[in-house]
């Protein structure tokens, strides 16, 4: 009996060993079929040349998260892949998100409240995708604790149950869920109102740099063999004799040259422009997507603890509010509104005031919320499917055989791309080297291999970089940070030795401009908005560094003098229209006349002109105070000055323009802030009108995928 047992054990062990060996052999064979990543990134010219001579398996139109994800998925399966983007990679919605990869707390709430099994599956899928994405690019993703405040004691059991389930569904090791009392919550977030605060829960989400993530996906796809090109606008879809779509006619926006790119299958991943492209396929096509405009504010770091975010889905006015630490600043939002997507949409002054009003209603009234604290404001469109309550994304086949993707989030981009490519393979009867996607299991993004959290120390030790510069380089470029360190300019001082900064308050260095050009940055806006995120962090600092960045790009790309001036003008227009720099031009619609006589206005305007020696249009507050005596003001009460500076629409901390200066003098001359309170009431009425129209039209959780 013993011998029989031993024989069975040996046989079973042999079979198990054979099974494991066979599985390893099968895995090795499969991995051999995966195309090898190229050593160097192909140039834009190389990709353009390939468009003329190659017939592709798949052409992807749209270079956002989903489009770039499709290119990476297709290329790693061994398909001949092309990707074109009308603007820059991630220039639309993909660079204007809340920067979180979320598992979907709203979906979980939907699942538990309405016993919705589909919502629960979405939560499980989202959490699994968060794990996959973090594994693909560990240098671009980091865990961030989020505080969820309790306004009523009876909220605690429900929140605890949801967060525990959320935590248990998270794959891999988890940092758990923690409860803190009201005192501890105020220690972490001292700006919150003490009233009605009964404690808080701390849970964890994944945060990333969305524009860099999108670019890294596109670059990785290129290194796997895909031909990717930005600033290529599709003007026509190519058809065969059966009227099936077999490619696209595209125009290079830089040279106006036309390319006819042929492919067996075409994937439409243009986000909010999906229906525009579908109408090129079929003029009778009905709308398949709806657009939600979402605005965000960027504020100084003191609005949010350095390492902890806050998310409150149930504020008093019924809206959700969040504060997130991001790249040394605070990201706050958001206002959502359904309306048709267009290229002219931009954040308005009313939206800014609406969001600031939400902050004022939420935090301690002793904490001053000032308009001048807004460093940048930007918004983007989220594309959602219409006429469906089953999925937050839809992949459909058109009459011309083109596959269109509607919806999807940063969390679901990889899964959506995998589904779309699999569908294209089936419909187009393509023959990939791998039938299954490898992006979840065996794909690392450019710069991920060899990266470690402490890699920045080597840059500091070996190259003499500042700590914050070294951390920024490793957390942005991963292992490629060493290439930038080698090519970085001397700082010009004793220490740091290398890494010449573009702006003293930011860790961006000149070497990043040259690296950005290698990474397909073609315009000045591409550089300051997406290769470096400074435009999304501080528009005035961006305006200051534009000439230096333009000088480097002009030298590297051989721009003419007129081209350089045109790039500067376009960049300033971008900052003005899309990043909030120009919202001051709307004040005429929001303001009321200055409460002074014509003679007084002329007098103080002349004083302002004298103080503005450099003709910049701004004067420092301390300079105004020093010159008050010459203007007939004997003494300025400190409290009055503080209240005035808090209430007026100040452009930046410490300085005012002429309009703001006249408001300041009006309040000081009259000795009170009654005029400013009147102006404030006027503004509040305008903002209330926006609130009625906006009213945060909450999108169903089963469409958004939950989360922020």
**If 0-12 CB within 10 Å is exposed, 13-18 middle and 19+ buried, where does residue 167 land?**
middle
State which residues form the domain around 417.
Answer: 44-95+212-288+388-428
**pLDDT value, residue 593:** 57
Asked, for residue 448, whether it belongs to a domain, the answer is no
The CATH number that applies at residue 557 is: 1.10.8
139 and 184 belong to one structural domain: yes
Asked, for residue 705, whether it belongs to a domain, the answer is no
15 and 25 belong to one structural domain: yes
Measured CA to CA in angstroms, residue 282 lies from 244, 246, 277, 400, 581 at distances of 11, 14, 9, 8, 40
- Asked if the model's pLDDT at residue 649 lies above 80, the reply is no
**pLDDT value, residue 467:** 94
Asked, for residue 704, whether it belongs to a domain, the answer is no
The CATH number that applies at residue 87 is: 3.50.50.60
**pLDDT value, residue 693:** 46
Asked, for residue 707, whether it belongs to a domain, the answer is no
The CATH number that applies at residue 141 is: 3.30.9.10
Cβ–Cβ contacts within 10 Å for residue 171, how many?
12
pLDDT digit string, tens, across residues 411-464: 999 999 999 999 999 999 999 999 899 999 889 999 999 999 999 999 999 999
194 and 67 belong to one structural domain: no
pLDDT digit string, tens, across residues 356-376: 888 888 888 888 888 878 999
- Asked if the model's pLDDT at residue 176 lies above 50, the reply is yes
Residue 174's nearest CA partner among 183, 163, 184 is: 163
281 and 304 belong to one structural domain: no
Q: Which of the four pLDDT bands, split at 50, 70 and 90, describes residue 50?
A: very high
pLDDT: is 254 or 582 the higher one? 254
283 and 313 belong to one structural domain: no
192 and 154 belong to one structural domain: yes
The token pair that represents 146 in the structure block:
């989020």
pLDDT digit string, tens, across residues 186-202: 999 988 888 778 999 99
The token pair that represents 180 in the structure block:
């803190």
Highest mean pLDDT range out of 230-234, 288-292, 346-350?
230-234
Domain count, the chain: 5
In angstroms, rounded to a whole number, what is the distance separating the alpha carbons of residues 514 and 508? 12
217 and 88 belong to one structural domain: yes
186 and 308 belong to one structural domain: yes
Asked, for residue 348, whether it belongs to a domain, the answer is yes
479 and 550 belong to one structural domain: yes
In angstroms, rounded to a whole number, what is the distance separating the alpha carbons of residues 589 and 86? 34
Give this prediction's pTM: 0.86
In angstroms, rounded to a whole number, what is the distance separating the alpha carbons of residues 213 and 309? 21
479 and 559 belong to one structural domain: yes
- Asked if the model's pLDDT at residue 217 lies above 80, the reply is yes
In 110-244, at which residue ranges do the beta strands (DSSP E only) sit?
Answer: 141-149, 178-180, 200-208, 227-229, 232-239
Q: What is the 3-state secondary structure (H, E, C) of 501-543?
A: ECCCCCCCECHHHHHHHHCCCCCHHHHHHHHCCHHHHCHHHHH
Asked, for residue 438, whether it belongs to a domain, the answer is no
pLDDT: is 238 or 333 the higher one? 238
pLDDT digit string, tens, across residues 297-316: 999 999 988 789 999 887 77
pLDDT digit string, tens, across residues 110-123: 888 888 888 888 89
Measured CA to CA in angstroms, residue 468 lies from 53, 139, 156, 164, 208 at distances of 45, 15, 39, 36, 17
Lowest-pLDDT range of 19-28, 287-296, 363-372, 617-626? 19-28
Residues in a beta bridge with 359: none
305 and 184 belong to one structural domain: yes
- Asked if the model's pLDDT at residue 339 lies above 60, the reply is no
pLDDT digit string, tens, across residues 74-90: 999 999 999 999 999 99
In angstroms, rounded to a whole number, what is the distance separating the alpha carbons of residues 334 and 382? 12
Give the chain's largest Cα–Cα span. Answer: 115
Choose the final residue of a domain: 538, 563, 584: 584
pLDDT digit string, tens, across residues 599-636: 888 888 888 888 888 887 788 877 877 777 677 666 66
């Amino acid at each position: 009996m013993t011998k029989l047992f031993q024989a069975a054990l040996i046989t079973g062990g042999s079979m198990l060993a054979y099974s494991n060996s066979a599985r390893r052999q099968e895995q090795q064979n499969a991995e051999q079929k995966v195309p090898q990543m190229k050593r160097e990134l192909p140039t834009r010219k190389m990709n353009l040349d390939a468009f003329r001579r190659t017939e592709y398996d798949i052409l992807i139109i749209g270079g956002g998260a989903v489009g770039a994800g499709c290119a990476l998925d297709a290329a790693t399966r061994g398909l001949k892949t092309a990707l074109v983007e009308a603007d820059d990679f991630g220039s639309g919605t993909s660079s204007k998100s809340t920067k979180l990869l979320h598992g979907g707390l709203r979906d979980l709430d939907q699942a538990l409240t309405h016993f919705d099994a589909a919502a629960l599956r979405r939560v499980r899928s989202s959490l699994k995708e968060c794990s996959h994405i973090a594994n693909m690019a560990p240098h671009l993703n980091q865990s961030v604790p989020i505080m969820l405040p309790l306004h009523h004691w009876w909220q605690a059991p429900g929140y605890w149950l949801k967060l525990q389930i959320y935590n248990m569904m998270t794959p891999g090791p988890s940092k758990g869920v923690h409860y803190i009392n009201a005192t501890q919550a105020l220690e972490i977030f001292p700006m919150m109102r003490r009233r009605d605060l009964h404690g808080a829960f701390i849970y964890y989400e994944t945060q990333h740099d969305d524009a860099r993530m999108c670019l890294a996906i596109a670059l990785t796809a290129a290194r796997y063999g895909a031909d990717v090109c930005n600033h290529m606008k599709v003007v026509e879809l190519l058809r065969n004799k059966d009227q099936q779509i077999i490619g696209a006619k595209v125009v290079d926006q830089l040279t106006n040259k036309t390319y006819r790119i042929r492919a067996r299958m075409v994937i439409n991943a243009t986000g909010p422009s999906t229906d525009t492209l579908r109408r090129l396929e079929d003029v009778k096509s009905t709308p398949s997507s709806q657009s939600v405009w979402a605005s965000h504010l960027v504020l100084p770091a003191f609005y949010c603890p350095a390492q902890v975010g806050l998310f409150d889905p149930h504020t008093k006015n019924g809206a959700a509010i969040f504060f997130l630490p991001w790249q040394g600043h605070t990201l706050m939002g958001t206002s959502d509104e359904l309306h048709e997507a267009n290229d002219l949409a931009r954040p308005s002054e009313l939206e800014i005031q609406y969001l600031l009003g939400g902050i004022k209603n939420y935090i301690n009234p002793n904490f001053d919320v000032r308009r001048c604290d807004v460093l940048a404001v930007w918004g983007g469109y989220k594309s959602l499917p219409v006429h469906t309550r089953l999925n937050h994304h839809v992949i459909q086949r058109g009459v011309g055989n083109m596959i269109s993707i509607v919806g999807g989030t940063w969390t679901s981009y990889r899964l959506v791309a995998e589904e779309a490519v699999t569908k294209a393979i089936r419909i187009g009867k393509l023959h990939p080297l791998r039938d299954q996607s490898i992006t979840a299991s065996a794909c690392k993004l450019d710069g991920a291999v060899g990266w470690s959290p402490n890699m920045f120390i080597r840059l500091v030790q070996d190259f003499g970089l500042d700590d914050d510069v070294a951390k920024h380089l490793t957390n942005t470029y991963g292992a490629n940070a060493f290439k930038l360190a080698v090519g970085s300019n001397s700082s010009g001082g004793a220490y740091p030795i290398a890494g010449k900064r573009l702006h003293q308050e930011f860790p961006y260095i000149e070497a990043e401009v040259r690296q950005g050009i290698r990474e397909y940055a073609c315009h000045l806006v591409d550089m300051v908005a997406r290769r470096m995120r400074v435009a999304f962090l501080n528009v005035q600092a961006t305006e200051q560094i534009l000439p230096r960045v333009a000088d480097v790009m002009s030298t590297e790309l051989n721009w003419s003098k007129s081209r350089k001036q045109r790039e500067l003008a376009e960049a300033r227009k971008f900052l003005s229209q899309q990043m909030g720099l120009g919202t001051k031009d709307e004040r005429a619609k929001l303001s009321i006349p200055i409460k002074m006589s014509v003679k007084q206005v002329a007098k103080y305007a002349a004083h302002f002109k004298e103080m503005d020696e450099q003709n910049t249009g701004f004067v420092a507050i301390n300079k105004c105070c020093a010159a008050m005596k010459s203007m007939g003001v004997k003494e300025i009460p400190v409290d009055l000055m503080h209240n005035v500076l808090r209430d007026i629409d100040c452009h930046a901390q410490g300085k005012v323009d002429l309009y703001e200066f006249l408001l300041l003098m009006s309040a000081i001359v009259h000795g009170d802030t009654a005029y400013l309170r009147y102006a404030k009431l006027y503004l509040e009425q305008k903002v209330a009108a926006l609130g009625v129209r906006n009213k945060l039209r909450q999108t169903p959780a089963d469409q958004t995928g939950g989360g922020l």
